[in-house]
A and B are shown apart, each in its own frame.
Chain A
Amino acid sequence: MIRFDQVHKRYANGREALAGVSFTIADGEMTFLTGHSGAGKSSILKLIALIERPTRGQVFVGNQNTAAIKPRGIPQFRRQLGVVFQDHKLLHDRPIADNVALPLIIAGVPKREIDKRVRAALDQVGLLGKEKNRPLELSAGEQQRVGIARSIVGKPKLLIADEPTGNLDPDLALEIIQLFKRFNDVGVTVVIATHDVQLIDRCGARRIGFREGRVAAPAGTAASDLGA
């Protein structure tokens, strides 16, 4: 599903975020990217979502070389992708239902279909009945679940999340990760960047560690206490 091949990323300010990173994530895998802030996790996710382009090397997503995707093709590419952010990135002046519906509206899904799928997505994250609320009326954990509902409403095959538990206490964080695990169980490839090592240890999943822009820890699977 995802393959990084000797990827370098140097930003305009001269900072070298990635220095020759190679790894592969298989279809249907759930993977944590770990490391201190500045280790390159976020850069990896930005390269996957085509928010950034590699300076050198190649990034394959869904067997497609992202270098071949022109700026015009980026919107279409992103519609096949679910993205979750640490700061949720919700639209605060719109109700929850509209926030979740956004990707479907953009993709031009018919109105009746949208209502159905928005309710289904909110049901999956346990927020059914809060459609009319505004994001700021919800708790941080609930807001994050709205963000997740929005990322999965388009039924993507790949879900990427940048520090999705960053602002949550450990119990809520585990809940969120379990939510990701449920999507992974039905075949969605999940890539989560986090510095919360304890959390990863509590759920069994593959882990790729980064240090100073390079793959540090060997890619392996930690012991699982998550449903396995």
Chain B
Amino acid sequence: MVEHPLAAFMTMAVIAIALALPLLLNVFLQNTRTATANWNQVFDISVYLDKKAPGTRVQALAKQLRSRADVAAVRVITADEALLQFRRASGFGNALDALRDNPLPDTLVVTPALGASTPAGTEGLRRAIAATADVQAVQIDTEWVQRLYTMLDILRRIIWLTGALLGLGVVLVVGNTIRLDILNRRAEIEVMKLVGATDGFARRPFLYSGVWYGLGGGLLALILVAVAVGMLAKPVETLAGLYGSQFRLSGLGLDLGAAVLGVSIGLGWFGSWLAATRHIRAIEPT
């Protein structure tokens, strides 16, 4: 390892790339979760009343809903208010003037109580409201959020899968490098066995090499991830700013970084142990 620094570095680089790939995916996943975390909180439920319902019905319904335990707040948007808002926000003012009647219904915006803001709780509330008289439609915009979380869950599994496969790759790469090291030092191992070395004694330096390969590869992987996150941080911040968000890209963090080093050292050790145990046993003095 010391005699061939370039070869050792190349082995470490291969390990680093294999480890960096799932780590980068993980950084992407974690950041997506952070960015969408508050979306999982309270969802307002929009309740559209039937156009044929009497004008006083909306206030009565609002009062009725406010008395429910699973409702935190109810905001009333009458059809007139809605039209006014729409006229101001949409820029279709003139086109709206052409309409004889207000096409918009009275609307209630219901905020579920915190305890009821689980998907099941919200769904129960939605059904209860939908069953009420004069309610035309009830809408919760949770479906796409749930789809997003399902996708993130799939991505998380993909990361574990690639991580496991690439971890196996690291074991094989280290194993192969150690195998070549051992073949290069065949004569030395023979001499050591002749003067009474056990397989374990002859194996020890190769296990140290494996640990160094793992440590070097792990550190390189962390550097790769840090560089990638650094390169993405600025554009992501700009993008978040465009959406009026304070979101900032975060890297691996200290805990995960330490875990990565631990795992890569472990993989290096294991790869060298497999190769050294097998190949040193095969070397016998003649």
A residues neighboring B (CB under 8 Å): 49, 51, 75-79, 81, 83, 89-91, 102-103, 106-107, 150, 154
Of the listed residues B195, B198, B201, B284, the one surrounded by the most CB atoms of chain A closer than 10 A to its CB is B195
| A83 to B196 Cα, complex, angstroms | 10
A-B pairs with beta carbons under 8 Å apart, 21 shown: A49-B194, A51-B285, A51-B286, A75-B197, A75-B198, A76-B196, A77-B196, A78-B195, A83-B195, A89-B187, A89-B190, A89-B191, A91-B188, A102-B192, A103-B196, A106-B196, A106-B197, A106-B198, A106-B201, A150-B195, A154-B195
Mark B77-88 against chain A: 1 for CB-CB distance below 8 A, else 0: 000000000000
User: What is the CB-to-nearest-CB distance from B190 to chain A, in angstroms, rounded to a whole number?
Assistant: 8
Name A89's contact: one of B194, B196, B198, B201 (CB within 8 Å): B194
- Tell me which residues across on chain A come within 8 A of B187, comparing CB atoms: 89
User: Could you list 11 further interchain pairs (A-B, Cβ under 8 angstroms) beyond the known A75-B197, A102-B191, A102-B192?
Assistant: A51-B285, A77-B196, A78-B195, A79-B195, A89-B187, A89-B191, A89-B194, A103-B196, A106-B192, A107-B196, A154-B196
- Tell me which residues across on chain B come within 8 A of A77, comparing CB atoms: 196
- Tell me which residues across on chain B come within 8 A of A90, comparing CB atoms: 191
| A79 to B188 Cα, complex, angstroms | 17
- Tell me which residues across on chain B come within 8 A of A78, comparing CB atoms: 193-196
| A79 to B194 Cα, complex, angstroms | 9
Chain B residue nearest to A46 in the complex (CB): B286
- Tell me which residues across on chain B come within 8 A of A51, comparing CB atoms: 194, 284-286
B residues neighboring A (CB under 8 Å): 187-188, 190-198, 201, 284-286
Chain B residue nearest to A78 in the complex (CB): B196
Chain A interface, DSSP helix/strand/loop, else mixed: helix
- Tell me which residues across on chain A come within 8 A of B284, comparing CB atoms: 51
Chain B residue nearest to A80 in the complex (CB): B196
| A102 to B202 Cα, complex, angstroms | 11
Chain A residue nearest to B194 in the complex (CB): A83
- Tell me which residues across on chain A come within 8 A of B285, comparing CB atoms: 51
| A154 to B191 Cα, complex, angstroms | 15
User: What is the CB-to-nearest-CB distance from A106 to chain B, in angstroms, rounded to a whole number?
Assistant: 5
| A76 to B197 Cα, complex, angstroms | 8
Of the listed residues B188, B191, B196, the one surrounded by the most CB atoms of chain A closer than 10 A to its CB is B196
Contact A91 to B191, CB < 8 A, known contacts A51-B285, A51-B286? yes
| A157 to B286 Cα, complex, angstroms | 23
| A81 to B193 Cα, complex, angstroms | 12
- Tell me which residues across on chain B come within 8 A of A107, comparing CB atoms: 196
Contact B191 A106 (CB under 8 A): no
| A26 to B284 Cα, complex, angstroms | 29
- Tell me which residues across on chain B come within 8 A of A83, comparing CB atoms: 194-195
Chain A residue nearest to B284 in the complex (CB): A51
Chain A residue nearest to B187 in the complex (CB): A89
- Tell me which residues across on chain A come within 8 A of B197, comparing CB atoms: 75, 106
Contact A106 B195 (CB under 8 A): yes
- Tell me which residues across on chain B come within 8 A of A91, comparing CB atoms: 188, 191
Chain A residue nearest to B3 in the complex (CB): A93
Q: Which 9 A-B pairs have the closest CB atoms?
A: A79-B196, A78-B196, A103-B195, A75-B198, A106-B197, A75-B196, A89-B191, A51-B285, A106-B196
- Tell me which residues across on chain A come within 8 A of B190, comparing CB atoms: 89
User: What is the CB-to-nearest-CB distance from A35 to chain B, in angstroms, rounded to a whole number?
Assistant: 20
Of the listed residues B187, B190, B191, B198, the one surrounded by the most CB atoms of chain A closer than 10 A to its CB is B191
- Tell me which residues across on chain A come within 8 A of B198, comparing CB atoms: 75, 106
- Tell me which residues across on chain A come within 8 A of B192, comparing CB atoms: 102, 106
- Tell me which residues across on chain A come within 8 A of B191, comparing CB atoms: 89-91, 102
User: What is the CB-to-nearest-CB distance from B282 to chain A, in angstroms, rounded to a whole number?
Assistant: 13
User: What is the CB-to-nearest-CB distance from A70 to chain B, in angstroms, rounded to a whole number?
Assistant: 13
| A167 to B285 Cα, complex, angstroms | 21
Chain B residue nearest to A153 in the complex (CB): B195
User: What is the CB-to-nearest-CB distance from A215 to chain B, in angstroms, rounded to a whole number?
Assistant: 24
